[in-house]
Amino acid sequence: MKIAFITAFPPSHHALNEYGFHVADQLRREPTVDLTVLGDHLDAPAPELPGFNVVRCWGFGKWDSSLSLLRALRRIQPDVAWFNLGFASFGDRPLPAILGLITPAAARLCGISSHVTLHQLFETVDLNDAAVSSRRLYRAGGWLATHLLLSASSLSVLLPPYRRILNEKYRRGRVSARRHGVFAGKPEPPDFTLRGNPVHRILAFGKWGTYKRVDLLIDAFNRLAKLHDVRLVVGGGDHPKTPGYIESMARKHASDRISFLGYVPEELIARLFLEASFVVMPYTSSAGSSGVAHLAAQYGVPIIASDIQDFRELAEHEGMAIRFFKPGDVSSLFEQMLLALSSPEQLKEMASQNHAAAVAMSMPHVVRDYIQAFRQRERVATLQMAAQLRRNDRFHQNEKLALAVGDRLHRWQEEDAAPNSAL
């Protein structure tokens, strides 16, 4: 199966590039997949990651990204064009963002099966946290963008409530709810000798300044530090809308007990999580299925999070162990952190539960679920085409179509006989 995967892709740092890398990394390991990554332009020249076939053909904030992508898709002629998207994937201004989001529907009109993995819904965004200036325009743009994405051949969201929202509000499109997945192929069990030895490390990770803020966490941590020997590690830099936020927090709060790491390279993330006694997600709202929560699960780390509906759904849908505190309440967060440190056996149980959840949604499982759905859809479409040709007595008269159907049937036999890549 020939797949064109459209995503922000490293060494680009645009949104969803990490997720795009890990999906592409698994796709290239699948024996039945011929992968081309259609990535975003880089801000500065840099070597491509080895082992990937990357075509840089669209740019963040560029109005002609859709045209460039369609030209690339026509050259490649993939069986599936798979889009890894958020609403701001193509730009942070309305025109380039909307023009880019036309691409999945336009690809379908060009005869290319298109699938969208959509990481958030505009309906679930807290407009105060998102610093939206014109709410009426935002809602109109979000409504239009959602209709455009639902015009793709199919669309996946990463939480079941999102599927319900789309089905009830828009009543169109082919929508599935799938797991976000963890990035590891084989998540390793947690090594408890790295935690609380000699002190407990509390980790907060993300892009900070909008709905992710560390002020509340630092206040709760300072209370906790009077009772326990603990360290707070804040990883990640600023959200694009709040430049300078982490630097200002570091100037005010950095100490021998509180460290601010800024941007954390991919190769250092594992150690950061492996040494954490638990992860705190002190968010005021959610922007989709949390990548930080999935990183915590991947490394078997307990989670303490704001009691937000999306996080409740995440715990239920994917079986994660999460302790909840009242959003915006310093005392509630302090109490949950204190209870966690006072219950080492429960921390181990939560860690083991999150590791088990990660094993069940490893990236090979997630990607193969997509491939199976793509293959089934392709086969149904091909068989429908063949049946229609036969009914019209044109199958043997149209040699080109007959050969195309025959080639696909032959390829199915080869794919069915191919061994699965190792988990």
Query: Is 299's pLDDT higher than 90?
Result: yes
Number of structural domains in the chain: 3
Clarify whether residues 278 and 396 are in a common domain: no
Question: Within a domain: residue 275?
Answer: yes
Q: Is the separation of the CB atoms in 235 and 296 below 8 Å?
A: no
Q: What range does the domain containing 334 cover? A: 192-360
- Asked if residue 96 belongs to a domain, the reply is yes
pLDDT of residue 179 exceeding 60 = yes
Report the predicted TM-score, pTM, of the whole model to 2 decimal places: 0.80
Confidence label for 135 from pLDDT (cuts 50, 70 and 90): low
> Could you say which of 123, 154, 177 is where a domain stops?
177
Using one digit for the tens of pLDDT, what is the confidence trace for 236-271? 888 777 888 889 999 999 999 999 998 888 788 889
Q: What is the pLDDT of residue 409?
A: 57
- For 58, residues 6+ apart whose C-beta sits below 8 A from its C-beta are 6, 38, 39, 40, 41, 65, 66, 68, 69, 90, 100
In whole angstroms, give the CA distance from residue 64 to residue 169.
Answer: 30
- Print the SS3 string covering the chain: CEEEEECCCCCCCCCCHHHHHHHHHHHCCCCCCEEEEEEECCCCCCCCCCCCCEEEEECCCCCCHHHHHHHHHHHHCCCEEEEEECCCCCCCCHHHHHHHHCHHHHHHHCCCCEEEEECCCHHHCCCCCCCCCCHHHHHHHHHHHHHHHHCCCEEEECCHHHHHHHHHHCCCCCEEECCCCECCCCCCCCCHHHCCCCCEEEEEECCECCCECCHHHHHHHHHHCCCCCEEEEEEECECCCCCCHHHHHHHHHCCCCEEEEECCCHHHHHHHHHCCCEEEECECCCCCCCHHHHHHHHCCCCEEEECCHHHHHHHHHHCCCEEEECCCCHHHHHHHHHHHHCCHHHHHHHHHHHHHHHHHCEHHHHHHHHHHHHHHHHHHHHHHHHHHHHHCCCCCCCHHHHHHHHHHHHHHHHHHHCCCCCC
* pLDDT reported for residue 105: 96
Task: Based on the fold, state whether residues 331 and 376 are members of the same structural domain.
Answer: no
Q: Does 423 fall in a domain?
A: no
Tens digits of residue pLDDT in 368-421: 999 999 988 877 766 666 666 566 655 455 555 556 656 665 565 555 555 554
Comparing 285 with 116, the larger pLDDT belongs to 116
Looking at residue 274, its pLDDT comes to: 93
Tell whether 402 and 318 lie within a shared domain.
no
- 396 and 309 inside one domain: no
Domain stop point among 177, 206, 232: 177
Say yes or no to pLDDT of 99 above 60: yes
Place of tokens 């990394």: 25
Sheet with strand 54-58: strands edge to edge = 54-58, 34-40, 2-6, 80-85, 114-118, 154-157, 175-177
Q: Letter for the amino acid at 64?
A: D
Q: Report yes or no on 183 lying in a domain.
A: no
Q: Do residues 154 and 262 share a domain? A: no
114 in any annotated domain: yes
pLDDT tens digits, residue range 79-96? 999 999 998 899 888 889
- The domain boundary, picked from 126, 147, 177, lies at 177
pLDDT, position 243: 86
* Largest CA-CA distance found in the chain, in angstroms, rounded: 84
Q: Kindly report the CATH number assigned to the domain that includes residue 332.
A: 3.40.50.2000
Residues 121 and 207 in one domain: no
Residue 187 lies in a domain: no
**Together in a domain, 304 and 412:** no
75 and 199 co-located in one domain: no
268 shares a domain with 147: no
Cα angle 167-15-69, degrees, rounded to a multiple of 5: 75
- Whether 140 and 223 map to the same domain: the answer is no
For residue 422, being part of any structural domain is answered with: no
Residues 118 and 214 in one domain: no
CA R_g for the chain: 23
Q: Which residues are bridge partners to 58 per DSSP? A: 40
Which phi and psi (to 5°) does residue 392 adopt? -85, 5
Question: Same structural domain for residues 397 and 348?
Answer: no
Inside any domain, residue 349: yes
